[in-house]
Amino acid sequence: MELFDLIPSMGGEDFSIYTEKTKGCFYWLGVGNKEKDCVYQWHNPRFDADESALIIGSSVLAVSALKAIEYFI
């Protein structure tokens, strides 16, 4: 797993509006994998996701939920 800061872009995400009101965190889950020919962007008809990344994504969300429960309760 690799973590890094993203370069700001003009993407269409509105998530930043939520963080004007409360603390928040945004995850990007990479699903590309050159070895499995998962190299095309989302809107390309040849897009394919490396589904093994879903295990990592699910784990990150589960731990985040548990930490939030621990923090708020």
pLDDT of res. 25: 80
pLDDT in tens, 3-59: 667 777 666 678 888 888 988 887 888 999 999 999 999 899 999 999 999 999 999
The residue with greater pLDDT, 64 or 2, is: 64
Long-range contacts of 62-68 (CB under 8 A, 24+ apart): 64/25
pLDDT of res. 64: 93
Residues listed for the chain = 73
Distance CA 68, CA 71 (A): 5
Domain boundaries, the chain: 15-72
Q: Which residues of 34-72 are buried (b: 16+ CB within 10 A; e: fewer)?
A: eeeebeeeeeeeeeebbeebeeeeeeeeeeeeeeeeeee
pLDDT of res. 45: 97
pLDDT of res. 2: 66
